[in-house]
Structure 1
Amino acid sequence: MQASEATKSRRKPTNLSLDSDLLREAKVLGINVSRSAEAGIAEAVKLHKQNKWLQDNAAALASSNAYIEANGLPLARHRQF
């Protein structure tokens, strides 16, 4: 889910423990801490999903790469670049 999609979804109040100096500095700078935390969590979820997909599909990717190394790209003779 992208951050823009997350902002359209229902919001739930949540308690977080944050570094007090960082929180104070963010407030001085006018940073919306809730939105920033949400964006950071959304990015962490995205990276986790990407890594999980790569792990789940590692065998298929390795097999495909091995096939191409052994046999070349399928339809390579039709490539014009």
Structure 2
Amino acid sequence: MLTWHATSAVSRKATNVTLPVDVYQRAKELGINFSRACEQALRQAITAEEGRRWALENTEFIKNINDWVEKNGLPLAEYRMF
């Protein structure tokens, strides 16, 4: 899985974000960095969506593996320490 890290060497793209007034005011009061918070939230959303899509695209494979394990048991189960 790709790990996302923000660095100063990464080029940036300015964008506008529309927020509810209460969210904007509270974040401003708390000194939250809007760009950093939005970036972190978007990275989490991207990761979640990529995972959802992978699972959807691999549904048949996952089902086949689960069926095989149900029928044959876990490979190397005899060596498990838990």
Q: Shared fold by TM > 0.5?
A: yes
1:16-64, CA deviations, whole angstroms, 9 ceiling, x for partnerless residues?
Answer: 1111111111111111011101111110001000111111111101101
2:16 is aligned with 1:10: no
Deviation at 1:73, TM superposition (A): 2.6
Question: Which structure has the higher relative contact order (CA within 8 Å, separation 6+)?
Answer: 1
Q: Which moved more, 1:28-37 or 1:67-76?
A: 67-76
Alignment root-mean-square deviation, CA: 1.6
- The percent identity for this pair of structures is 36
Question: How many residue pairs are counted as aligned between the two chains?
Answer: 78
TM-score (structure 2 length as normaliser): 0.82
Q: Which amino acid aligns with 2:71?
A: A
TM-score (structure 1 length as normaliser): 0.82
| Counterparts of 2:25 and 2:72, CA distance in 1 | 59
**Residues 63 and 80 of structure 1: is their aligned pair in 2 closer, same or farther, counting only changes over 3 Å?**
closer
Unpaired stretches in structure 2, ≥5 consecutive residues: none
| Counterparts of 1:23 and 1:75, CA distance in 2 | 54
Unpaired stretches in structure 1, ≥5 consecutive residues: none
Question: What SS does the corresponding residue of 2:74 show, helix, strand or coil?
Answer: coil
